[in-house]
Amino acid sequence: MNKLGQFCIATLCMAAPFTATAGEIGEIQWHGFLTGAYMATSGAGEDVHYAGDVSDNGTTKDTRLGLTVTTQVDEKWRFAAQMKAKGVDDFQMEMDWAYATYDYSDGFAVNVGEIKYPVGLYNEYIEVGYTYPWIRAPETFYNQDIFGPNLTRISYSGVGLEFSSLGDESETNLNIFGGLLDVGDGHVNQLIGAKLGFNWADILRLQLSAATGLMEIEAGPRAAMNGERHTSYAAGIGLDMESFVFSTEISAATMGVDVMDSTSGYVMMGYRFGDFMPHVTYGHWDVKGGWGQKDITLGLRTELTSNTALKIDVKQVTPGDKYNNNDVSAGYGLFNAKPEEDKVLIYGVALELVF
Amino acid sequence: MKTYVSTLMLMVVLIFTAAIAHADEVVLIVNPANTLSELTLKDVKKIYLGKSKFFPGGGKVIPADQLEKSTVRKIFYEVMIGKSASRLKAYWSKRIFTGKGTPPIIKKNDEAMLAWVAEQPLALGYVYRKSVNDSVKVLNLK
């Protein structure tokens, strides 16, 4: 959370008096989400971790609580901010994002602050597990570890211009954004990107995006990329009919170091039988250096109430077989070291709640 | 005679059904100061789904809902918006947790809705037609 985001949330708190249920001009609304998750690997071996802290010992570190606060300050200005506490951060409450929006009209709005990163069909609500079928959105596209595909982040600091055109049942959006991206061990400076989205009746979603920036990483395993340009392209299709659910996204990314160039994506299909939705997902992450991965996930989402869902996922991961020794990255797929088995099972259960 | 009785019974049933249907009719209401006289179904959907923040004439709009389990709300969303409760929850979760919008504010019944709309110049609400009084203006649906 940078100073711009802190300024936005401070302004929000001063701008409007608290009420629990209102939503009129000058009043604040609170909403929240909770994920209780357990995940474990089978066949990874001792001290081998998958995409963070998932190991044979199991982990609850995907468990998280979030609170979102929004207010309409006047007829044109509104503020929104999200705080979250995650198991992986020992449940320390921290600001996720905070930004102000000026609604010039239904066709044009300007966002300023620490803004949700708009690339990807699911990224803008990636922390809210209730909104998608899996326990984790496909890691071959959405993983944010330094070893991952490096396509998405939670938020960026800067300005976003949103142009919208509303049809009878459709909505077309163009989001042009620019600023600074925090990548954990450094920054992507001079970030500029664009996302073109189309939504038809919330049934069909199409998305194209491109983003580029200059990396500033002075230490750590990615220091070789310091000063290099990071560029990514992504395309996605989402289909959500009454019963049939489908989504797919593909991407290509370059990071100025030849062996790090990668393509990635996934395809998911699901079918709703009343409150139950079984689904299957195939994901791939191909890195020029050879240490990507392929995975297949079988999952079941069950609606317990209108705001609570239970999920069970089983994933089989086949990591790439080339270990990278040039200190740019290291790992087999999204594992931190070579797993014992060629194919590793990852299983998990999660309870998702929004309120 | 049998045909006559049957016809009479059918007419009674139709009249009774029509009366019930009229009593359960849900209408859109705004503050009397609002110059609008009608809205399209498309406009209503855009406003209640948070995609449009303005009346067609350009003025800011503040839409209001009734309680989630109320019949009037169920009728309104089935007839005018076309979304079930769970799909609506999923829809709003995506907008709320990206800061893109919040669902309409809640009024607990027709009486509370009427009182609020009568006081709020930017208001848009819905109530049963039978509850309407002079403190609000009913919008025609195009």
pLDDT in tens, B66-88: 998 899 999 999 888 887 777 78
Walk me through the domains of chain B, giving residue ranges and CATH numbers: 27-141 (3.40.190.10)
Q: Which residues are A180's β-sheet partners?
A: A157
Structural domain contains residue A138: yes
Contacts of B11 (CB under 8 A, 6+ apart): none
pLDDT in tens, A231-248: 999 999 999 998 999 999
pLDDT in tens, A159-198: 999 999 988 889 999 999 999 998 877 889 999 999 999 9
Residue with the bigger pLDDT between B121 and A169: it is B121
Nearest residue to A223 via CA among A113, A81, A328: A328
Q: What percent of chain B has pLDDT over 90?
A: 49
Total beta-carbon pairs less than 8 A apart between chain A and chain B: 76
What is the distance between the alpha carbons of residues A23 and B100, in angstroms, rounded to a whole number?
14
Average pLDDT rounded to a whole number, residues A24-52: 89
Residues of chain A found within 8 Å of residue B93, distances taken between Cβ atoms: 33, 125, 128, 130-131, 354
Is B53 at the interface with chain A, CB within 8 A? yes
State how far residue B131 is from chain A, nearest Cα, in angstroms: 24
Structural domain contains residue A261: yes
Is the pLDDT at A123 greater than 90, yes or no? yes
Does the beta-carbon distance from A24 to B62 stay under 8 Å? yes
Does the beta-carbon distance from A106 to B51 stay under 8 Å? yes
Structural domain contains residue A344: yes
Report the number of distinct structural domains present in chain A: 1
Q: Which H or E run includes A67?
A: strand A64-72
Cβ distance A186 to A149 under 8 Å? Answer: no
In the numeric block, which tokens belong to residue A19?
A: 């009420």
Nearest residue to A350 via CA among A294, A292, A315, A309: A309
Q: Which of B52, B62, B98 to mutate to test the interface with A (most CBs of A within 10 A)?
A: B98
Structural domain contains residue A341: yes
Cβ distance A117 to A156 under 8 Å? Answer: yes
Structural domain contains residue A67: no
pLDDT in tens, B19-39: 444 447 899 999 999 999 999
Does the beta-carbon distance from B51 to A70 stay under 8 Å? no
Is the pLDDT at A18 greater than 60, yes or no? no
Does the beta-carbon distance from B105 to A23 stay under 8 Å? yes
pLDDT value at residue B57: 80
Helix spans in A111-249 (H) = 139-142
**CATH number assigned to the domain comprising residue A278:** 2.40.160
Q: Is the ipTM of this complex over 0.95?
A: no
Structural domain contains residue A240: yes
Is B70 at the interface with chain A, CB within 8 A? no
Sheet holding B26-30, edge to edge: B38-39, B137-141, B26-30, B123-128, B62-66, B105-107
What type of residue sits at position A156? Y
Structural domain contains residue A141: yes
pLDDT value at residue B9: 54
Residues of chain B found within 8 Å of residue A33, distances taken between Cβ atoms: 93, 97
Burial A75-96 (b: 16+ CB within 10 A, else e): eeebbbbbbbebbeeeeeeebb
pLDDT value at residue B2: 54
Q: Which of B102, B117, B122 to mutate to test the interface with A (most CBs of A within 10 A)?
A: B102
Contacts of B54 (CB under 8 A, 6+ apart): A105, A106, B60, B61
Is the pLDDT at A129 greater than 60, yes or no? yes
Can you give the residue range of the structural domain that contains A49?
A: 39-59+114-122+129-354
pLDDT in tens, A287-306: 887 788 999 999 999 999 88
Structural domain contains residue A8: no
Angle at A180 between CA A195 and CA A286, to 5 degrees: 60
Is the pLDDT at A348 greater than 90, yes or no? yes
Is B142 at the interface with chain A, CB within 8 A? no
